[in-house]
């Protein structure tokens, strides 16, 4: 009996084994049919091996879910942030030319949508301020390209708000740039922008009152021609340009800001000569901006003004003449700046198309027409050569070729106030030029 019972139990266990096997087989078939995965079956499953001579199952395994970024070809829209002067709603010749160029880019790229957003040029809510705030709070809302002045470009790059274009464009290596406009694109050896507008310091005078302008600062100061310049500017670009033309250095071997006594004394002696002869307009000690000095010139307070050439290009009249700055000794130096298209989006897959648009917006043919309409200096010599008026083109080429890029923000912050204070002391007749130069040099060394 026991044996029969044992056989009975064995038969029952065998039956249960076959039943469980059948159920498991059915479950696995069902899971495979509806593409389910049973975690406890798949977890730590050993890797299958294929014995020699056996054929391996070549059925591809299902690919894992991917979170790859879209490709550049999938970019269907681009966004630009621009200052109010480039607002398409202005319906100026310059804004219309810009919109036409953007429309052409869209047509050449399968109807890609190009959106333009207008931000204040500076200050709260301005381009740099908005870029900073948006990067922190809503990075997905960043523009693809942003129009930044050179000082703002430098700030944005050092804060990591914009991205280098290295490897995405070869245009900065083109020879068709003025030296200072090529420098506008570079920061610490990397390309952070494509320059599309520039400006430089020059002299503007009334032709009827000054038939022939003297050819040096010393000769000019003795000619008693009233000259206006922004003597209270924190940047002191006009005295700085004179200092550089006198051969002065602004950095030592460790790239620290410096001023040298001898060339700075030459600058202050020129200023003293102007005060003595009555050439320098007394109100220059109150002008803080190039715009204020330009307004004084237009109001008849001066017959000669040191100003941005864009003031002349946008508001000049037929009785005015533009000319380069004058030399102190043998050299002539002007200072310039400008605006670049910078790469602002953090989405790297959008970078190639954004840079392609930036390249399209700095083509010489477009830059020539747009800069003439906007009243700015073209960033490329070939673009300037297409302008009408050979005399003006010659003068602008002369100015562009003696222009250096305004020093870095940190350098200007150190040098500007010192030059302003020294110039003010000499303008007010409070101190000898040589002494003012010595005090200025020592003041900078104490910073």
Q: Tens digit of pLDDT per residue, the chain (447 long)?
A: 333 333 444 434 444 544 445 444 444 444 444 343 333 233 333 333 334 444 444 444 444 444 456 666 689 999 999 999 999 889 899 999 999 999 999 999 999 999 999 999 999 999 999 999 999 999 999 999 999 999 999 999 999 999 999 999 999 999 999 999 999 999 999 999 999 999 999 999 999 999 999 999 989 988 889 999 999 999 999 999 999 999 999 999 999 999 999 999 999 999 999 999 989 988 898 999 999 999 999 999 999 999 999 999 999 999 999 999 999 877 899 999 999 999 999 999 999 999 999 999 999 999 999 999 999 999 999 999 999 999 999 999 999 999 999 999 999 999 999 999 999 999 999 999 999 999 999 999 998
Examine domains 73-192+338-385 and 200-333+402-445 and report if their fold is the same. Answer: yes
* pLDDT for 7: 42
* pLDDT for 33: 41
C-alpha 244/C-alpha 249 separation (Å) is 7
CB 304 within 8 A of CB 210: yes
**What is the DSSP annotation of 408-425?**
PHHHHHHHHHHHHHHHHH
How far, CA to CA in Å, does 119 sit from each of 92, 368, 439?
18, 25, 42
C-alpha 131/C-alpha 136 separation (Å) is 9
Cα-based angle 98, 101, 103 (whole degrees, multiple of 5) = 110
Q: Is 124 helix (H, G, I), strand (E, B) or coil?
A: coil
Architecture in CATH of 200-333+402-445: 3-Layer(aba) Sandwich (3.40)
* pLDDT for 377: 98
350 DSSP assignment = G
| Of 84, 76, 83, the residue nearest 106 (C-alpha) | 76
CB 239 within 8 A of CB 437: no
pTM surpassing 0.85?
A: no
| Of 320, 321, 329, the residue nearest 216 (C-alpha) | 329
C-alpha 208/C-alpha 275 separation (Å) is 24
* pLDDT for 69: 62
CB 431 within 8 A of CB 425: yes
Architecture in CATH of 73-192+338-385: 3-Layer(aba) Sandwich (3.40)
Task: Find where tokens 């050819």 sit.
Answer: 215
Provide the sign of the torsion angle of the four alpha carbons 295, 300, 302, 303, taken in this order: positive
Question: What are the structural domain ranges in the chain?
Answer: 73-192+338-385, 200-333+402-445
* pLDDT for 72: 65
Q: How far apart are the first and last CA of the chain?
A: 111
How many Å separate Cα 62 from the centre of its chain?
47
| Of 365, 370, 368, 361, the residue nearest 105 (C-alpha) | 361
């Amino acid at each position: 009996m026991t044996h029969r019972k044992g056989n009975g139990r064995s038969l029952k266990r065998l039956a249960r084994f076959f039943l469980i096997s059948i159920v498991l087989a059915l479950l696995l078939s069902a899971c495979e049919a509806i593409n389910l995965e049973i975690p406890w079956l798949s977890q730590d499953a050993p890797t299958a091996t294929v014995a020699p001579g056996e054929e391996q199952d070549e059925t591809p395994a299902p690919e894992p879910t991917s979170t790859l970024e879209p490709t550049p070809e999938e970019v269907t829209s681009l966004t630009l942030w621009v200052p109010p002067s480039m607002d398409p709603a202005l319906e100026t010749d310059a804004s219309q030319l810009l919109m036409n160029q953007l429309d052409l880019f869209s047509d050449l790229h399968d109807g890609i949508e190009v959106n333009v957003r207008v931000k204040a040029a500076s200050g709260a809510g301005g381009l740099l301020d908005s870029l900073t705030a948006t990067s922190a709070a809503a990075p997905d809302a960043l523009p693809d390209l942003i129009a930044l002045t050179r000082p703002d470009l430098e700030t944005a790059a050092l804060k990591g708000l914009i991205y280098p274009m290295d490897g995405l464009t070869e245009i900065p290596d083109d020879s068709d740039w003025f030296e200072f406009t090529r420098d506008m694109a570079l920061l610490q050896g990397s390309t952070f922008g494509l320059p599309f507008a520039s400006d430089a310091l020059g002299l503007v005078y009334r032709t009827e009152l000054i038939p022939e302008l003297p050819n040096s600062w010393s000769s000019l100061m003795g000619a008693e021609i009233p000259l206006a310049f922004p003597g209270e500017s924190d940047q002191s670009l006009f005295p700085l340009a004179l200092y550089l033309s006198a051969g002065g250095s602004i950095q030592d071997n460790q790239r620290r800001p410096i001023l040298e006594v001898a060339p700075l004394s030459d600058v202050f002696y020129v200023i003293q000569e102007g005060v003595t002869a009555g050439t320098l307009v007394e109100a220059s000690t109150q002008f803080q901006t190039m715009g204020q000095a330009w307004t004084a010139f237009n109001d008849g307070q001066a017959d000669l003004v040191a100003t941005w050439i864009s003031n002349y290009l946008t508001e000049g009249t037929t009785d005015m003449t533009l000319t380069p700055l004058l030399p102190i000794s043998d050299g002539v130096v002007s200072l310039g700046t400008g605006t670049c298209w910078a790469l602002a989006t953090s989405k790297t897959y959008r970078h190639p198309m954004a840079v392609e648009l930036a390249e399209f917006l700095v083509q010489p043919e477009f830059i020539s027409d747009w800069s003439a309409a906007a009243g700015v200096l073209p960033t490329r010599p070939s673009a300037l050569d297409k302008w009408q008026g050979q005399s003006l083109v010659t003068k602008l080429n002369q100015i562009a070729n003696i222009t250096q890029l305004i020093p870095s923000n940190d350098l200007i912050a150190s040098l500007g106030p010192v030059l302003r204070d020294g110039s003010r002391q000499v303008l007010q007749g409070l101190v000898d030029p040589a002494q003012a130069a010595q005090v200025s040099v020592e003041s900078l060394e104490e910073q």
